[in-house]
């Protein structure tokens, strides 16, 4: 039996385990990336491991999320990350150099390598045939130290593309189509390989749009072959030597195969508040639009921006619409400037934002109240834009421009022939915004600069054999990490200050949660299915842990979040019978006994002392995970080990 692309990379990096689906495997990690909103915590964790230098082939620290410096906090965190990176062998991408995933694709990613990043959109690297996965900061810290990254061996899905995209139908529409087919939980436990004749027509930036948004499916990652298209991209980046060909074997076996005919696709749009709430753009024709945002790690490549500029050229946007453009990297922005496309964008009335995440993570550009915002981003979770009642829709750059020009949701195909966009044979290479680490000799003298915003992180409590605690919060299906630990301009600067952050925990669902949880001392949360989808932020586990949450019981979990819970020493459990979810209420007093034996045999009985009922909970912890929980979290476990 042959291998899929992902299985080939896994096989070459496997440190322990075997490729039985569902079993735990340990992988050697070649590259890591961090961004500043999760990076501060990841480097604090790395420092506590007491290692001098990273052991990876390449580790890069990006500053792209917290670039609004409305106080000392973000600037202090940047200084901390820059100094810690210099000391420990990590490349530092300065603020303004671009969004981590875009820059990593351009300058560092390599086909066939493994990459983990403390950001859930790290799978963007799958666009050039990397096995690239999002992870919690602590897992990234361990990988920087040379430790293995543990995942559950995923199933293999294949998406076969046939045909060719019509004008104004784009890679973003392919992403939205697969979300429509699979939903935000349809990729959980799977790696999605993209193949078929249709991929030959997709450039690397288009492929990267698709692997980027594969995160929204809940997939472990998504991957394209490394082929002539990949080779041309790497050559244009002056990195021909990084190319290796990579494809699946003809007799590789997939657990599921999905066919998409590109020729039949139409422009699509994801409606509030979920990326899988997908309909055709034409079905929403005429809906008034207040704001349009173009950028984010999904759609900010030079190719995307050149198309946007070509559509805007010689036209003026509607006065009722506010349009923002954030190019993905300095490379993209300076090439737009050099070829004159930037002038076309500015002349249209667009507002140019810096090369960073910006509005995607609520760092400015929040819509007006109740405002309709069309964004080329990957997430439209409730409240994420910074405006609680903002109505965010996800679209392609072409559909975004069509809305800016008409003031309403408009199928871009009405614009007739798409202006031709010619990609250059080579990109402008300027790595001056990437600061190299110090040599091992110089490193000893480098002082790590810490600001007052960095607070010691809380330590979890080891588990006892029994637990009695109140059900402090009961939430529904598809709870995102943006619900658990919101971001945005007011909160993000405190990513290294867990006590401060804790005031906002679950603020979208129940503002009284932090107070109540703290008062209880220890508590349990109950959720529906796909709990913890979205971001990789470990803060969505560390903050509940700080507030005393000991266990989370759900119908099912999202992959990165469940790992973060275990790392934070919070026990993730699922209902054996999902209907039991309905028989338990917020405020009930819950208790579990014989936890250790239960962890071993995969079943723990939950008694509801308030109603007198009892339920079976299931778990399938590996020996390593049990030891982590017993030790009180991964950090404690790593120190003890
Ligand atoms: C996001 O898109 O939600 C983020 C902000 O990039 C996060 C990381 C974070 O919360 O810092 C992610 O996707 O992991
Ligand atoms: Fe940044 Fe948005 Fe991409 Fe997250 S999804 S890395 S916030 S651009």
What mean pLDDT do residues 542-561 have? 97
> What residue owns the CA closest to ligand 1's atom 5?
361
| Calpha distance 629→577 (Å, rounded) | 24
**Which residues, 6 or more positions from 189, have their beta carbon under 8 angstroms from its beta carbon?**
22, 152, 154, 155, 220, 559
Dump pLDDT digits (tens) for 141-157. Answer: 999 999 999 999 999 99
Give yes or no for a contact between 484 and 532, defined as CB atoms under 8 angstroms apart: yes
- Among 62, 211, 297, 327, which residue has the most ligand 2 atoms within 8 Å of its CB, making it the best to mutate? 297
Please determine, for residue 460, whether its predicted confidence score (pLDDT) is greater than 90: no
Dump pLDDT digits (tens) for 190-215. Answer: 999 999 999 999 999 999 999 999 99
Query: Average pLDDT, whole number, for the chain?
Result: 97
| Calpha distance 397→149 (Å, rounded) | 35
Q: Report helix, strand or coil for 604.
A: strand
CA distances from 223 to 22, 159, 252 (A): 19, 10, 15
- Measured from the alpha carbon of residue 64, the closest ligand is 2
- Strand 256-261 to strand 291-294: parallel, antiparallel, or no bridges (unpaired)? unpaired
**Which residues, 6 or more positions from 114, have their beta carbon under 8 angstroms from its beta carbon?**
9, 13, 27, 28, 29, 30, 31, 130, 131, 132, 133, 149
The model's confidence at residue 461, banded by pLDDT at 50, 70 and 90, is: confident
Q: Is 304 in the pocket of ligand 1 (CB under 6 A)?
A: no
pTM over 0.85: yes
- Among 33, 38, 212, which residue has the most ligand 1 atoms within 8 Å of its CB, making it the best to mutate? 38
CA 487 centroid distance within chain: 13
Of 45-49, 602-606, 625-629, 637-641, which gets the smallest average pLDDT? 637-641
| Calpha distance 4→6 (Å, rounded) | 5
Return the ligand 2 atom nearest residue 487 CA: 7
pLDDT at 419: 94
pLDDT at 459: 80
């Amino acid at each position: 039996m042959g291998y899929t692309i992902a299985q080939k990379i896994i096989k070459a990096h496997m440190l322990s385990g075997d490729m039985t689906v569902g079993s735990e495997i340990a992988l050697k990690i070649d590259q890591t990336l961090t961004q500043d909103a999760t990076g501060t915590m990841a480097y604090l964790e790395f420092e506590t491991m007491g290692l001098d230098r990273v052991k990876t082939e390449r580790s890069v620290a990006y500053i792209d999320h917290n670039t609004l410096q409305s106080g000392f906090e973000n600037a202090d965190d940047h200084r901390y990350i820059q100094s810690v990176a210099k000391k420990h062998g990590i490349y530092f991408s300065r603020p303004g150099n671009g969004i981590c995933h875009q820059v990593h694709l351009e300058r560092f990613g390599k086909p066939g390598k493994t990459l983990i990043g403390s950001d859930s959109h790290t799978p963007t690297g799958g666009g050039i045939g990397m096995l690239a996965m999002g992870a919690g900061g602590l897992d990234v810290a361990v990988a920087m130290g040379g430790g293995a990254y543990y995942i559950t061996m995923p199933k293999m899905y294949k998406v076969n593309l046939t045909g060719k995209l019509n004008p104004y139908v784009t890679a973003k529409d392919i992403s939205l189509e697969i979300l429509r087919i699979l939903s935000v939980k349809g990729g959980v436990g799977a790696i999605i390989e993209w193949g078929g004749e249709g991929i030959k027509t997709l450039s690397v930036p288009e492929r990267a749009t698709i692997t980027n948004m594969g995160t929204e499916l809940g997939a472990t990652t998504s991957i394209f072959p490394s082929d002539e298209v990949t080779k041309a991209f790497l050559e244009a980046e002056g990195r021909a030597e990084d190319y290796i060909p990579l494809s699946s074997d003809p007799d590789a076996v997939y657990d599921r195969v999905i066919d998409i005919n590109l020729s039949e696709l139409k422009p699509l749009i994801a409606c509030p508040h979920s990326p899988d709430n997908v309909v055709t753009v034409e079905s929403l024709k005429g809906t008034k639009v207040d704001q349009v945002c173009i950028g984010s790690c999904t759609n900010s490549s030079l190719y995307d921006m050149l198309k946007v500029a070509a559509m805007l050229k010689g036209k003026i946007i509607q006065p009722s619409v506010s349009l923002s453009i954030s190019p993905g990297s300095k490379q993209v922005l300076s090439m737009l400037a050099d070829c004159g496309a930037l002038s076309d964008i500015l002349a249209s009335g667009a507002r140019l934002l810096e090369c960073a995440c910006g509005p995607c993570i609520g760092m400015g550009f929040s819509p007006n109240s109740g405002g309709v915002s069309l964004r080329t981003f990957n997430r439209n979770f409730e409240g994420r834009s910074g405006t609680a009642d903002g109505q965010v829709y996800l679209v392609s750059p072409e559909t975004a421009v069509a809305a800016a020009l008409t003031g309403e949701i408009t199928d871009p195909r009405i614009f007739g022939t798409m202006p031709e966009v010619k990609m250059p044979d080579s990109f402008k290479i300027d790595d001056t915004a990437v600061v190299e680490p110090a040599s091992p000799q110089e490193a000893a003298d480098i002082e790590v600069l810490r600001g007052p915003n960095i607070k010691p992180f809380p330590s979890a409590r080891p588990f006892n054999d029994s637990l009695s605690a109140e059900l402090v919060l009961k939430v529904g299906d598809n709870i995102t990490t943006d619900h658990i630990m919101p971001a945005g301009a007011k909160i993000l600067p405190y990513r290294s200050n867990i006590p401060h952050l804790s005031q906002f925990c679950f603020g979208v669902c129940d503002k009284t949660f932090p107070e109540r949880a703290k008062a209880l001392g220890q508590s349990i949360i109950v959720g529906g299915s796909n709990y913890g989808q979205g971001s990789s932020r470990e803060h969505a586990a560390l903050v509940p842990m700080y507030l005393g949450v000991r266990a989370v019981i759900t119908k099912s979990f999202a992959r990165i979040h469940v790992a973060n819970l275990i790392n934070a020493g919070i026990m993730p459990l699922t209902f054996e019978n999902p209907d039991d979810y309905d028989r338990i209420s917020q405020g009930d007093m819950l208790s579990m006994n014989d936890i250790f034996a239960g962890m071993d045999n995969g079943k723990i009985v939950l008694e509801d002392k308030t109603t007198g009922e009892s339920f079976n909970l299931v778990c399938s912890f590996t020996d390593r995970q049990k030891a982590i929980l017993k030790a009180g979290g991964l950090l404690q476990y790593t120190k003890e080990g």
